[in-house]
Structure 1
Amino acid sequence: MKFLKTITFIVFLLSVNTIYAQQILKKGFLVACGDDKLFIIDPAKSNDNHTEIVWSWEVKNSEGLPKEYIPLLKSLDDCKPVMNNKKILVTSSSGATIIVNIGNKKVEFYAMTPMAHSADILPKNRIVVANSTHKDGNSIELYDLLKNEKVLFRDTLYSGHGVVWNAKENLLYVLGYKHLKSYELIDWKTENPSLKLVNSWEIPDNSGHDLSRIDDENFLISTHNSVFLFNSKIKSFTPFDLLKDRKDVKSLNYSHKTNSLVYTIAEESWWTENIYMVNPMKTIKLPGLKLYKVRKAI
């Protein structure tokens, strides 16, 4: 009887831990990355004097990651919540892309990706990565979540900085130095999938930096000198009023329903220690961290 009670208690603890793990990254929480660290932040409990960190992860303490990847993850630059907010898709400009399971903090995918700046999940658990200016970069690369390090497809993209999948259109949008492009999925049910270029648009300013999705047909693009709204239905770029003419915006997260905005700006060379919010208006600080991008769980 005592043995059965012990087993029952262990099962109970495991179920509680599973539930807790699923709740770590709630809708509206922020994922921030910089240096070799990831953080999940509760913005509602954060203010100018306090940052409510509910979860953190550091490369050197990770499980499931080959040791040779540690120096390739010293400068994390994008960290997207994926798979129902249970995992984080991470890129590093030092040369790698990984997926971290939030619940157990283990690395579940890894690949060497030169000067990686952004990534996204595509159907059938495939991963697309945008690589920036590097002798082996300037590209988008396609991977399978279950096949570490194996490139399935590659296309050129000068100064790749953004990738966003839009399920409504069944199109992938990618951002480079001077162009926004869209791709369709080809041979997706086979072992040899690829991407086919559908459209390419010249953006209104040089140095395309961040690409984020607002809804089924609206996207935000940051450049060196400003931020623009792109509408995929009418294929147009217009200034984004909340950050019009704002230079060096590194990441953007906007909800048109609440008119709320979360963003980062390069304030010390390419990095910052601050996360800025609009509606509600506040600044969240991560002192001592070379923060690059922040993403909002939806």
Structure 2
Amino acid sequence: MNRVISLISLLAVSVGGFAQSTSEKLLMVCGDSKVLLVDYQQGQDSIPAVVWSWDAHEAMDLPTEYRTRKFNSMDDCKAIRQGEQLLVSSSSGAIAVLNRKDKKVVFYASVPNAHSIELLPGDLIAAAASTAPNGNRIMLFDQKHPEKPLYSDSLFSAHGLVWDQQRKSLFALGLTVLREYKLVGTKALKLVQEWTIPGHSGHDLQPTPDGRHLFLTEETGAWQFDLKTHTFTKIPGFTDAPHTKSVGRDRRGQFIYTVPEESWWTYHVRFQHPSHALSFPTMKVYKARWFRP
């Protein structure tokens, strides 16, 4: 009986605000209409300890079309502003910014086949619109004016976005290229450099903890891009897998990644150094991130 109670407790999701974990090793998991915050150290075997969740289907502050249709396939999630807010994107056609504490949606916008979202200075929001009618582009929004794109630039199969605060650059990943953009004033971006990626069909783009590289994935495996030398190499210590949907590493060197088990989704979040796996049997998981506010 005590074991059953323990397992139920581990699976319990906070209904109200975020339940503060005693551990600082947290990860974010997104898929279906949900975003989860999971305590890595409090899980039992493969059972995740979910300490916070947001389900778009239950977000009554979203318009009906967004709540029931445009957030059915969550594909990216990131923490911003010291972890007090989250960025989310959905390939069903939307992006949003939400508060972690009260789960209030403070910004949303329609983005065709949205695959990534990033916060830029001046409360600007960049979104990657992948292959779709009116997609294949990078879009720029002002949080004060939802649903009104300020700027867009064509990028076929746009999939990944990273704002590099040190270089004051937005890096964007498409089908075959990695690009660097600079902000022009408060309403536009300017393309300044472009590199052909190894492999084909760029997918995930994430910064390394030291800020010196970007991790990127494509259909044959995963790579790192040196932001100083502008060269691509295989990620040291990471086991390659085709069609890796997301990859990241914490400051201690542990990798977190997702690889499809069926079509584009998986039921597990996997780790290396040390190796481990967490199971999400009722969720079509797309990406997982270390929670780095």
- Shared topology, TM-score over 0.5? yes
Q: Distance between the aligned counterparts of 1:22 and 1:122, measured in 2?
A: 28
Aligned counterpart, 1:293: 287
Amino acid at match of 2:129: N
- 1:6 aligned partner: none
- Structure 2, unpaired ranges of 5+: 1-16
- Where does structure 1 differ by over 6 angstroms across 4 or more consecutive aligned residues? none
1:242 to 237, 243, 252: 237
After superposition, the C-alpha distances for 1:194-230 in whole angstroms (9 at most, x for unaligned) are 0000100000110101000013321101010111110
Partner SS state of residue 241, structure 1: coil
Partner of 1:127: 125
In the aligned structure 1, how far is the partner of 2:64 from the partner of 2:273? Answer: 42
Give the structure 2 partner of residue 66 of structure 1. Answer: 63
Aligned sequence identity (%) = 36
Whole-Å separation in 1 of the counterparts to 2:56 and 2:117: 18
1:93 is matched with: 91
Which of 88, 112, 115 is the matching residue for 1:114?
Answer: 112
SS at match of 1:91: strand
1:234-290 residue CA offsets vs partner (Å, 9 max, x unmatched): 0100011333541111011113x4111111111111000100112332101111101
Among 218, 226, 230, the residue aligned to 1:223: 218
Question: 2-side partners of 1:34 and 1:179: how far apart?
Answer: 26
Unaligned runs of 5+ in 1: 1-19
Normalised TM-score (structure 1): 0.88
Kindly indicate whether the alpha-carbon contact (under 8 Å) linking 1:31 and 1:79 is maintained by their aligned counterparts in 2: yes
- Superposed, 1:257-272 pairs within 5 Å as 257-272=251-266
Secondary structure at the aligned position of 2:101 is classed as coil
Tell me how far apart the structure 1 counterparts of residues 166 and 43 of structure 2 sit (CA, whole Å). 34
Aligned residue for 2:41, secondary structure, equals helix
Question: Quick one: structure 1 residues 56 and 176, their matched pair in 2 at CA, closer, same or farther if it must change by over 3 Å?
Answer: same
Map of 1:232 onto structure 2: 227
Structure possessing the higher radius of gyration over alpha carbons: 1
Where 1:69 maps in the other structure, the secondary structure is helix
**Equivalences for 1:137-286 in 2 at 5 Å?**
137-188=135-186, 193-214=187-208, 215-255=210-250, 257-286=251-280
SS of residue in 1 equivalent to 2:47: coil
Shift of 1:27: 4.4
Q: Normalised by the size of structure 2, how large is the TM-score?
A: 0.90
Amino acid in structure 1 at the alignment position of 2:51: V
Question: Which structure dedicates a bigger proportion of its chain to helix?
Answer: 1
Counterpart amino acid of residue 61 in structure 1: E
Tell me whether 237-246 or 83-92 shows the greater mean CA deviation: 237-246
Aligned residue number for residue 33 of structure 2 = 36
Contact conserved, 2:238 with 2:272, CA < 8 A, in 1? no
Alignment root-mean-square deviation, CA? 1.6
Task: State the Cα distance separating 1:28 from its structure 2 match.
Answer: 2.8
